[in-house]
Chains A and B, each alone.
Chain A
Amino acid sequence: KQEVTQIPAALSVPEGENLVLNCSFTDSAIYNLQWFRQDPGKGLTSLLLIQSSQREQTSGRLNASLDKSSGRSTLYIAASQPGDSATYLCAVRRADSWGKLQFGAGTQVVVTP
């Protein structure tokens, strides 16, 4: 059974520092991996989606890497801002799963001014 783990559960950094968020998964037979952002009381917003054949994906200050063989993905957020404060979740999709996602518990990020 696929297990998805995000460590740490919470992280606080001063504004301007780079953020590094980790996601690990136990079964490397994935179709893709997604990173989501969740603001308090809101739903999930998709940030980046990495296909299983890709090593990384970039969007603005965000960069996500994928090492399928070791079961790891990392989300980098450059030059963090207070507006980046949120919970970040990763989710993996299996190839045979009708698009079903297996989520990690998330990392709660606070960026202090």
Chain B
Amino acid sequence: NAGVTQTPKFRVLKTGQSMTLLCAQDMNHEYMYWYRQDPGMGLRLIHYSVGEGTTAKGEVPDGYNVSRLKKQNFLLGLESAAPSQTSVYFCASRRQGVTNQPQHFGDGTRLSIL
């Protein structure tokens, strides 16, 4: 009963390096989301996807790119990491078409940019 799985759980990068965060869900959910959580600011939406092959910008998309090539996976990329991107990143998924379904969250990826 995996639910939403995020890989990796921890990562330290140097400024300018690139990396990809992977989110995988096994619930056949159509909608997927990437959030970042910073101290005192709650979660903010980076990008989201309403289906395979579609993505859209959220509240704080700058510096990030995403792809949804398969329904179960949602990738978040940092092309050139900056210290301001040090944060905890959460992925979530949700079923389409069912009223008032909650979002299901992964355990997060803790990313530090030096």
A contact residues vs B (CB 8 Å cutoff): 4, 9, 31-32, 34, 36, 41-46, 49, 51, 89, 91, 98-101, 103-106
Give B104's nearest chain A residue, CB to CB. Answer: A46
Contact of A43 among B40, B99, B102, B106 (CB under 8 A): B106
Interface of B is mostly: strand
Q: How big is chain B's contact interface, by range?
A: 20 to 34
Given contacts A42-B108, A43-B105, 20 further A-B contacts (CB under 8 A): A9-B40, A31-B100, A42-B107, A43-B90, A43-B108, A44-B43, A44-B103, A46-B104, A49-B100, A51-B99, A51-B100, A89-B42, A89-B43, A91-B43, A99-B33, A99-B101, A99-B103, A100-B45, A101-B43, A101-B45
CB pair A103–B106 under 8 Å, yes or no, is no
Interface residues of B (CB under 8 A from A): 4, 31, 33, 35, 40-45, 48, 50, 56, 58, 90, 92, 94, 99-108
B50 and A103 contact, CB distance less than 8 A: no
> What CA separation (Å) do A104 and B43 show in the bound complex?
8
Taken together as a complex, chains A and B put the C-alpha atoms of A99 and B32 apart, in Å, by 10
